[in-house]
A = this chain, B = another copy of it.
Amino acid sequence: MGLQVYRSDYCGDLAARDVGRKVILAGWVHRRRDHGGLIFIDLRDREGIVQVVFSPEVSAEAFKIAEAVRGEYVLRVEGEVRRRPPGTENPRLKTGEVEVYATACNILNRAKTPPFLIEDEINVDEDLRLRYRYLDLRRPEMQEAIRMRHRAAKAVRDFLDAHGFWEIETPMLTKSTPEGARDYLVPSRVNPGRFYALPQSPQLFKQILMVAGMDRYFQIVRCFRDEDLRADRQPEFTQIDIEMSFVDVDDVLSLSEALIAAVCREVAGVEVKTPFPRLTYADAMEFYGTDKPDLRYGMRLTDVSDLVAGSEFKVFAGAVAAGGCVKGIAVPGAASFSRREIDELTRYAALFGAKGLAYIQLTPEGPKSPILKFFKPGEIEALAGRLEAGTGDLLLFVADRRPVVQRSLGALRTHLAAMLGLVPAGFAFLWVVDFPLLEYDETEQRYVAVHHPFTAPREEDIPLLATDPGRVRAKAYDLVLNGVELGGGSIRIHRREVQEELFRAIDLRPEEAAEKFGFLLEAFEYGAPPHGGIAFGFDRLLMLLLGRKTIRDVIPFPKTQSAQDLMTGAPAPVTAHQLAELHIRLQLKEPAVARAQVSGPLVGSKGN
């Protein structure tokens, strides 16, 4: 084109204060309308849309060009900003008070008709959006997501920099880390038969950085897990990764709260209240039946075992006698549920192991329930009172072993809150603390670490490592937002004696430990400081703060459930020569592999 200047202003920035100015704009044709001998083009750029008017009287040449223009053409427009005639202002548009009269126009590029409209709330198959991601990303709500993702990352970096943290890059081509999920592997050409692993997290490196005296580390970092993409996961995801030296649990938690508050301010314009409430893992399970409860609504799980231990209803009394418990929730306004609706709930609870679901409907006509006959006068009132329920509410009970009661009733609580619209808007942050350090793995017939095996036990529980490992509480914490786990971390073991005791508890032989974590264990011998940290899922955080339904809507180029990039076609076949250089060949029929060769998991279900 040889143009000296493509643009003086963004389309979306023009306002009444610009009236009378000569401007140069560049952008995409959002809409074109011909009306009363004029052509109106809504010109769109990253900052918004402005109406450009083409009049043959202002510029016959520009008008002629505008006649040829179609949707998504790329234009350069010179013109003058004018106030719109009274009555034609568009209050839904940021620039709605003004329009630009074109004095010149160039078509910078033409465009085919896009396969879907470039506007919000389109009803299009997601695969089509991902296939044409460059068009999908032109939609205002996607532009907003990308802008806020940038703003959020900037807020994180500004905050942590101001608090003395250094962003330090850790390798992507590295060795397996002990997170427990499957690694993505990268064959080495120079080292035949050897493989790098892409990091599941920089866990070992961030601890190494503490041993190296970096004191306060962070990184917004890509992590990789080759998991089956159930739920809302991605093969690669982004983590805000933090580690600090000379700290204990409270230091990490209060720093995290201030950080999250800063991000909420930037991204959602919301002042969140700190400190966040804390629940022990035991209480979270007891009152909500989950380690990531949504605190935006009530329906706490309430233990009524003492009230029903002597009941004539043998299901209740029997469960208590067998060492289990009976718990109930009060579902507000659900007394009028039909038999069929209640059957549905029973089936739902059964998915989580509940063998039955007892219920009492507190109707205006009095309590109704198939088990009413088993209760003496006053007993129903006592149960309703314990559950803080009133007329119109539905009481649901599960009697079973405690884990079954917690799991099924917790699931019902979540299910009912969504179903009945009991979930208010807003952000309910929560710390869950004092996780168990170890859990017994039935398959492995031994204890495994719930988090990773460098998680520190609480000091007072260290003696239990040798005697009752399942009861040892960890200095581990999770941040939960609206029922979603946003992040987690722990204070780490920094003393070799404690580490060795833990390895003994999980039955990890010293040689095996050395093979897996040798360099970290060795590093700990050269003066490791007390340290701990946390990691937050950046994608999930954004999804929740922006109110999106899936993390794919806050990731510029996400992959599908089958780990494919529909735009680029990755993963793709490669040449035989490439494989030969990497010392591998394809083995498309999977042979039976001796499971004995495979070393079992060292860790449980939790990351970081």
Contacts and interface: CB of A to CB of B under 8 A. Distances in A.
Contacts of A208: 133-134, 567
A351 interface: no
A213 B28 contact: yes
A143 B215 CA distance: 11
A12 to B, nearest CB: 11
A122 B72 CA distance: 62
A258 interface: no
Nearest to A228: B190
Interface of A: 1-4, 6-7, 26-28, 44-46, 72-74, 76, 108-112, 114, 132-138, 143, 146-147, 149-150, 153-154, 157, 161, 166-176, 182-198, 204-205, 208-209, 211-216, 222, 224, 226, 228-229, 235-236, 238, 245-248, 459, 494-495, 518-519, 523, 525-530, 555-557, 559, 562-565, 567-588, 590-591, 593-595, 597-599
Contacts of A72: 526-527
Contacts of A572: 175-176, 194-195
Contacts of A590: 580-581, 583
A169 B529 contact: no
Contacts of A571: 173, 175, 186, 188, 191, 194-196
Nearest to A150: B166
A238 B169 contact: yes
A185 B578 CA distance: 9
B570 A595 contact: no
Contacts of A204: 568
Nearest to A25: B246
Given A26-B246, A581-B182, A137 B209 contact: yes
Given A150-B166, A518-B569, 10 more contacts: A6-B248, A109-B494, A133-B208, A188-B563, A188-B571, A190-B228, A191-B564, A193-B586, A208-B567, A519-B569
A214 B584 contact: no
Contact of A146 (B133, B214, B587): B214
B6 A246 contact: yes
Contacts of A187: 185, 187, 584
Contacts of A527: 28, 72-74, 109-111
Contacts of A190: 228-229, 562-563
B137 A173 contact: no
B170 A172 contact: no
A166 B147 contact: yes
Given A74-B527, A161-B154, A236 B173 contact: yes
B168 A146 contact: yes
A606 to B, nearest CB: 22
A529 B108 contact: yes
Nearest to A187: B185
